[in-house]
């Protein structure tokens, strides 16, 4: 039998109860416009990480929803290889959410139409990216300094998305700096402009990724609006997800860094929130097959020359917790071909089962 099976069928439940599981609203799907998301555990957009191969695997291992890496709203950059790869959604399950970054309402409207015409189902607007090259152009989290412009961008996307019956969502930080935690105000403006959901990362732009995420501002956002709110920042385990949902009253959690090289975390959190059970981490012999499928898709998207280089970081994350992971990683990073990388991984982890189908979504397995 294939080793590619749903997480819920391959690992035993320990039966440890989740305090919110009984009668919990988190056991129900989340409605986002016309889409019923199968669960409330989302994969965060991460440029250079959450590409199509990663998102496909994340969905198959239990993420209820994924958002693409950010794509520019600028039409003149659309033909670049990087942007066209980011716009590739082959084989992805609906709803396909594309995140747009930009500063000009007309450009955002045009980019909204462009992406919806090419397969996107949902448009997410990025107001969270702290990167200088984005912020210096007054995009990403810099937009939180100009609430009026932020609202106009959401409104432009909502108007452009209306003929497609496509929801528009907004991902932002708690604020620009400690003295300006204005996410609740932007949340109200975004809701009034027609946003269908908000995601809030509990850090300010000033914090970058330093310090710890705080959840009080996310709770205030949730109290300020009637649309769904997803809490994001430093969620790395089922218990933490449940605690953040309790602390914020949010409708969903969004996970970024903790699931790098650990895409089964989505299914573990979903199982805890939905069924009140803690799934143990899969053994290397189990995630090995997921990694091979991930790499197959990765090489197919990027081609061998680029794919071999970009596969290194993913593999490094997968093997990080193995006893000989660091030594293996150093060797792996010297390998120049896909065949060489796969052979090294077979040496470390054993053979994968050949031509296995992808895993079913967790929801289908329940
Ligand atoms: C490498 C990397 C790339 C990211 N790229 C994006 C992006 O394209 N769009 C976005 O909205 N957020 C981006 N983020 C922020 C994440 O979506 C998320 O908000 C942040 O990592 C906090 O969540 P976490 O603690 O679960 O990682 C990125 C984060 C990282 C680490």
User: Would 363 be classed as within a structural domain?
Assistant: no
- When mean pLDDT is compared across 124-138, 149-163, 284-298, 318-332, the lowest value belongs to 124-138
Q: How far apart are CA 63 and CA 262, in angstroms?
A: 12
Domain containing 219: what range? 18-275
User: Would 6 be classed as within a structural domain?
Assistant: no
Residue 124 and residue 247 in one domain: yes
Tell me the Cα Rg of the chain.
Answer: 20
Q: What is the mean pLDDT of residues 234-262?
A: 97
Residue 265 and residue 334 in one domain: no
Q: Is 45 in the pocket of ligand 1 (CB under 6 A)?
A: yes
User: Would 8 be classed as within a structural domain?
Assistant: no
Q: What is the mean pLDDT of residues 231-238?
A: 97
pLDDT at position 77 is: 79
Residue 141 and residue 265 in one domain: yes
Q: Is 72 in the pocket of ligand 1 (CB under 6 A)?
A: no
Residue 63 and residue 101 in one domain: yes
pLDDT band at 20 (very low <50, low <70, confident <90, very high): very low
Residue with CA closest to ligand 1 atom 23: 233
Residue 192 and residue 333 in one domain: no
Instruction: Give the end of a domain, one of 210, 245, 275.
Output: 275
pLDDT at position 362 is: 40
Instruction: Give the end of a domain, one of 237, 255, 275.
Output: 275
Q: What is the mean pLDDT of residues 62-74?
A: 91
Report if pTM > 0.85: yes
Q: CA of 81: how far to CAs of 47, 78, 120, in Å? A: 14, 8, 19
Residue 120 and residue 242 in one domain: yes
DSSP line for 9-71: HHS----PPPTTTTT-GGGS-EEETTEEES-SEEEPP-TTTS-HHHHHHHHHTT-SEEBPPPE
Q: Which of 66, 129, 135, 177 is catalytic?
A: 129
Active site residue 129: yes
Residue 116 and residue 220 in one domain: yes
Q: How many CB atoms lie within 10 A of CB 35?
A: 18
Write the pLDDT tens digit of every residue in 165-218.
999 999 999 998 889 899 999 999 999 999 999 999 999 988 889 999 999 999
Whether 32 shows a pLDDT value over 50: the answer reads yes
User: Would 356 be classed as within a structural domain?
Assistant: no
Residue 71 and residue 202 in one domain: yes
| CATH (domain of 126) | 3.20.20.70
User: Would 5 be classed as within a structural domain?
Assistant: no
Q: Is 277 in the pocket of ligand 1 (CB under 6 A)?
A: no
Q: What is the mean pLDDT of residues 11-18?
A: 36
User: Would 358 be classed as within a structural domain?
Assistant: no
- Asked if residue 279 lies in contact with residue 258, where contact means CB atoms within 8 angstroms, the answer is no
Number of domains in the chain: 2
Residue 203 and residue 297 in one domain: no
Contacts of 294 (CB under 8 A, 6+ apart): 53, 54, 57, 263, 314
Instruction: Give the end of a domain, one of 275, 305, 337.
Output: 275
Residue 116 and residue 185 in one domain: yes
Q: Is 359 in the pocket of ligand 1 (CB under 6 A)?
A: no
Q: What is the mean pLDDT of residues 155-169?
A: 98
């Amino acid at each position: 039998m294939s080793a590619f099976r749903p997480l819920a069928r391959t690992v035993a439940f320990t039966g440890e109860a989740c305090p919110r599981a009984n009668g919990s609203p988190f056991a129900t799907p989340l409605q986002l416009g016309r889409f019923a998301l199968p669960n409330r555990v989302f994969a965060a957009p991460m440029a250079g990480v959450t590409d199509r191969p990663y998102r496909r695997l994340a969905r198959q291992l239990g993420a209820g929803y994924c958002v693409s890496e950010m794509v520019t709203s600028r039409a003149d950059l659309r033909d670049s290889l990087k942007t066209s790869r980011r716009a590739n959604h082959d084989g992805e399950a609906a709803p396909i959410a594309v995140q747009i970054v930009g500063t000009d309402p007309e450009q955002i409207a045009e980019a909204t139409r462009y992406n919806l015409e090419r397969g996107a189902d949902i448009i997410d607007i990025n107001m969270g990216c702290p990167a200088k090259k984005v912020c210096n152009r007054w995009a990403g989290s810099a937009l939180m300094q100009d609430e009026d412009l932020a609202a106009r961008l959401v409104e432009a996307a909502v108007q452009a998305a209306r003929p497609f019956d496509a929801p528009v969502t907004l991902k932002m930080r708690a604020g620009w700096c400690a003295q300006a935690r204005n996410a609740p105000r932007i949340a109200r403006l975004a809701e009034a402009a027609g946003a269908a959901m908000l995601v809030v990362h509990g850090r300010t732009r000033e914090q970058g990724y330093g310090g710890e995420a705080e959840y009080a501002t996310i709770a205030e956002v949730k109290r300020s609006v009637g649309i769904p709110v997803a809490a994001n920042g430093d969620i790395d385990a089922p218990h933490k997800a449940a605690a953040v949902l309790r602390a914020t009253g949010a409708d969903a959690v969004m996970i970024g860094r903790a699931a790098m090289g650990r895409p089964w975390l989505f299914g573990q959190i979903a199982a805890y929130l939905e069924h009140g059970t803690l799934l143990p981490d899969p053994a290397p012999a189990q995630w090995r097959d997921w990694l091979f499928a991930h790499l197959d898709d990765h090489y197919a998207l990027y081609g061998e020359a680029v794919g071999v280089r970009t596969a290194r970081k993913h593999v490094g994350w997968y093997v990080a917790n193995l006893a000989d992971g660091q030594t293996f990683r150093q060797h792996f990073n010297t390998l120049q071909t896909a065949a060489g990388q796969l052979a090294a991984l077979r040496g470390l982890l054993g053979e994968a089962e050949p031509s296995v189908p992808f895993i079913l979504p967790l929801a289908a397995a329940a």
